[in-house]
Amino acid sequence: MPIRYDQSNFTYGEISPKIYARTDIEQYYKAAKKLRNCIVIPEGGVQRRFGTRYADTLQIATASDYCNIEAISIEKSDYLLLWEEQSLKIYLENKLISQVNSIYKKEDVKNLRFTQVYDRLIISHKNFPQYQLVRRANNAVLITEVDIPNNYFISQALGANLDAVYPVRFETQGVIPSSNPQIYANRTYYIRVFLNTAFRIYQSSEDAVNDVNPYTPIDAGNNSYVIVLNNWVLEQIVFKNVPTFDFKRNYDNLTFQPAAKTGNTTLACSGNIFTNDYIGGVFKGNDGIAKITGINSASVARIRVIKDFKDLSNMLGNLSFLGEPAWSATRGYPKTCSYYQSRLFFGGTFTIPNGTWGSRVNEFYDFDDSERLDDSAISWYPSTGFSNQIVDFTSGNSLIVHTDSGSYSSQVLIDSPITPNNFSLNEQNKDGVADIPAAFVDNQIMYIDSSLGNVKVMQFDLNQSSYALNTISVFSSHLIVSPVDLESFANPKYAQGCFLFVANSDGTLAVLQTLSEEGVRAWSLGETANIRNDGTVDKGYFAKVASSGTRCWFVVQRVVNGVTRLMIEELDFTLHTDCSYRNDLLNSDVVNGLDYLEGCQVDIVADGFVLKRQTVNAGTIHFPNVVQSVIIGLSYESSFTTLPIGMIEGTPSNLYAPKHIRTLYINYYETIGGTIGNSLIVTTPMAKVKLDQKIIPKSGVFQYNPMSDWDGTTMGITIKQTQPLPMTIIGISYVLELT
């Protein structure tokens, strides 16, 4: 008698071959045997993964050449920052808008660590002083006239890149220009530059890059100016105070005596210990505190008293504190940084590898830790008898300090903000963290452990009043291959859920879809490649990932026309090709400017129709007729293989019993095409296809009769999508015969 078996939940994604026999666990029945270039949706189904949109080609060639990317958001605009050797490139809407010289050599850029504080980016590196990247205003440019037919505002020379998008503000010494909608002074708008002196105005950067919804000019106003906000400055941070540390601890038998209780004076020592390393340091004794401002001799230092000494008697060294600046060329600079509870944090120098320093509240560049007032700076040194070299910070419900021998957390269950008097770092686990920045996603802290073989997750457990540690990749461990980068993506457009991207050393991209409250922990694997004209396949490598707000970018190594290149590509859920070119306003029978795909076979979707693949020649693709909208990119195959059918409730069958599939029902959602076995999944019957109308995605159920033999553990149904079209499978139903 036929038996029905349904699976409509794949929220554990692709599981490891080591789990194929575990029909005794719940996860088996919510998983797949293989998910390649697919992702799991929170509702339980499986869909074709996102595509990518081409942004730029880098000057460096391979992933072994060092680069780094970071994304920041300023006034609802997402900027991509590309760090190369002694160079920083800044992109807005995937257009290069600025390039800044930097001090970082080739081998340094991969070890840069970042944190954003309001509108500036803080940069840390263990071998360099801390820097900041700040966006400032350009010079004001006079608006001279309007070109109403072209929707242009005309100004004096902007000095900007053509077709680039920039944030701007307007100011006036007379009358602001009239427009529809009306623009106002001292508000941020966006312009797209069409000539060196002509631009259009938009509400958002996205409107600007797509040239939609421009403001209509009416007049140029009177004595009004446009100010482009694109003057990027990379500068060394000038700290008001830096933290201090007693490195030498060799003055217990010495005495100290200030020349005065207050003001600018001198401090004498009974031994010859003062060097220039102490300038900027602190002396404490007899209830007084003084900053060391200079050195007169090995036994006399110049000081500025900031808290009066009680008296001028000799102060015993074992009752005093003499500290050098904790950060310097001699002592090293912090390796990493973060921002937590209105304090800027730095951590880990080569001389104080476990040092953790927090600034004064809302005084990001003041690390004066000489006093212990509530708003004073914080200095802490977590230790458990192991190495405790700080690798990274994570700012979430608490401040997490990751080290090579475990992770520590500031207190969570306290109502008041952290202060020097209540701050502590409590050990959470003894699990070492790899030298890859951790990620905060779905209210969970995720990192690569020191073995480079596991993705770990820390989540606060209220019952234990501490962070519980688990291996989130345990059921899909084969997808984690010595990772080189890790990034969260929490607010994607056109998709639900939260993502973690793990760029593997073999070039694959392990993708985790996570919604812990809904029981979603689904891993899948992304792969990318280029196909040459002769059919040769050149594998691509996902090398770096960065995200900010609703945007995410990859650096991908590709072989194009026989030459290895690194490319910047943005994740895009509306595309089904990689390294894609898109133009919705083409209105032509030819596309130029595809040099970055020279010699590659590309998929083409024109006005909603899939055309025959072509090879890019001289940067050009031709069409048989004029098309309005076109998407051109590299193909990838999405494949989804089910697990063998395990235990069936109410039957004596088990995993190894022979089974015969009589009928399959494939429940699809907003899908066009795809294949199962050697059969097409027909979403639109041929009788309903009109040659002059594109096929739109459909939802429904497709019946498939595989005519398969009796099978057991090798049984598995594979569904593929090879065309650049959408595919979502929300359930599979079997009609089986059992022995």
Give the tens place of pLDDT for each residue, 517-533.
899 999 999 999 999 99
Whether the per-residue pLDDT at 428 is higher than 80: the answer is: yes
**Diameter of the chain by CA atoms?**
103
The pLDDT of 685-705, averaged and rounded, is 74
Q: Which residue has the higher pLDDT, 5 or 525?
A: 525
- Provide the 3-class DSSP secondary structure of residue 358: strand
Mean pLDDT over 612-639 rounds to: 96
How far, in Å, CA of 241 to CA of 92, rounded?
35
The pLDDT, as a whole number, for residue 692 is 60
For 179-230, the pLDDT digits (tens) are: 999 999 999 999 999 999 999 999 999 999 999 999 999 999 999 999 999 9
Amino acid identity for residue 361 in this structure: V
C-beta separation of 637 from 721 below 8 A: yes
Indicate the range of 166-180, 441-455, 698-712 predicted with least confidence.
698-712
Beta-ladder partners of 736: 3, 661
Whether 689 has a pLDDT exceeding 60, the answer reads no
Residue 162's φ and ψ, nearest 5 degrees, are -65, 140
Give the span between the Cα atoms of 133 and 136, in whole angstroms. 10
Is the pLDDT score of 712 beyond 90?
Answer: no
Q: What is the DSSP letter of 14?
A: B
* Tokens encoding 627: 């098309």
The pLDDT score that the predictor gives to residue 24 is 87
Q: How far is CA 80 from CA 158, 398, 550, 564, in A?
A: 22, 28, 12, 22
63 or 47, higher pLDDT: 47
Per DSSP, the residues of 679-719 read: EE--SS-GGG--TTSPPPPEEEEEEE---PPPBSTT---EE
Yes or no: say if 354 and 336 are a contact pair by the CB < 8 Å rule: no
Other beta carbons within 10 Å of 240: 12
At residue 471, the pLDDT reads 96
The predicted structure's pLDDT at residue 413:
78
Write phi, then psi, for 309 (nearest 5 degrees).
-75, 145
